[in-house]
Amino acid sequence: MSAGWIAVAGLGPGDEALVTPEVTAALAEATDVVGYIPYVARVAPREGLTLHPSDNRVELDRAGFALDLAAKGRRVVIVSSGDPGVFAMASALFEALEARPDRQQTDIRILPGITAMLAAAARAGAPLGHDFCAINLSDNLKPFAEVERRLRHAARGGFAMAFYNPRSKARPHQFARVLEILRAECEGARLILFARAVSTPDETIRCVTLAEATPEMADMRTVVIVGNEATRRVGRWVYTPRSVPV
């Protein structure tokens, strides 16, 4: 039996042209693809390839399953959208590996992808052109009090910010609280980008001020980018200067 391996791959934000050649090559070699249902659906079926879609709340089970497949000599690609190291499956795989000493010699590769905040920033211009941070606003894996704490510190630190998972049907009120905190920490003229379904036919990019922003402008397909105090418009573009006045 040939040695199995695992590649954790980022499928990018949506457009197939943004999937890297390295990821395409791994998928062509794979015997198994493991991942969240809509991400696995982006992989074309073919002879010799088994697709294993699963729910979004079973990341550690999914990672353990992939490790077991690789131990049987299978060539496994775990798929994530965007980049697998940004709020995705790379971390979950290593967490599962930490609990499985018998699997820690598995051949593992992490294949980077274009994450949604970078695709959204490119569409708008360069809003992340200086220091920035990314915050997942979901409280599925951490308490919302921690989201609030990190948000306040990022705003006080002068960072541009990219928000993932801003507003879902299960927690529609939380993004309203995020806007409330931002208004307490930042000026009302601060620019905010709402980038929905970037690189797909449903793409919309909207830029407003913090004073104009409403919770309904975001959903789970939206990445929200908040500029820092220097972020500004030039023509139709939004950018953050790389220099900081002293």
**Average pLDDT rounded to a whole number, residues 224-229:** 96
pTM of the entire predicted model: 0.90
Residue 105: Cβ within 10 Å count: 9
Residue 16 pLDDT exceeds 80:
yes
What CATH number is given to the structural domain containing 38? 3.40.1010.10
Whether 157 and 101 map to the same domain: the answer is no
Q: In total, how many domains does the chain have?
A: 2
- Is residue 30 domain-resident? yes
CA dihedral 156, 161, 166, 171 (to 10 degrees): -20
Lowest mean pLDDT among 2-11, 107-116, 117-126, 182-191: 2-11
- pLDDT reported for residue 5: 97
**Average pLDDT rounded to a whole number, residues 90-114:** 94
Q: Identify the domain containing residue 214 by its residue range.
A: 117-239
- Of 59, 89, 114, the one marking the end of a domain is 114
Q: List the one residue out of 224, 236, 237, 190 whose CA is nearest residue 210.
A: 190
**Average pLDDT rounded to a whole number, residues 107-129:** 96
pLDDT band at 2; cut points 50, 70, 90: low
- Of 99, 114, 129, the one marking the end of a domain is 114
Please state, in angstroms and rounded to a whole number, the distance separating the CA atoms of residues 63 and 16: 25
Whether 73 and 123 map to the same domain: the answer is no
Percentage of residues of the chain with pLDDT beyond 70:
98
- pLDDT reported for residue 56: 78
Neighbour-count burial for 178-217, b at 16+ CB within 10 Å, e otherwise: bbeebeeebeeebbbbbbbbbbeeebebebeebeebebeb
17 burial (CB, 10 Å; 0-12 / 13-18 / 19+) is: exposed
Summary mean pLDDT of the chain: 93
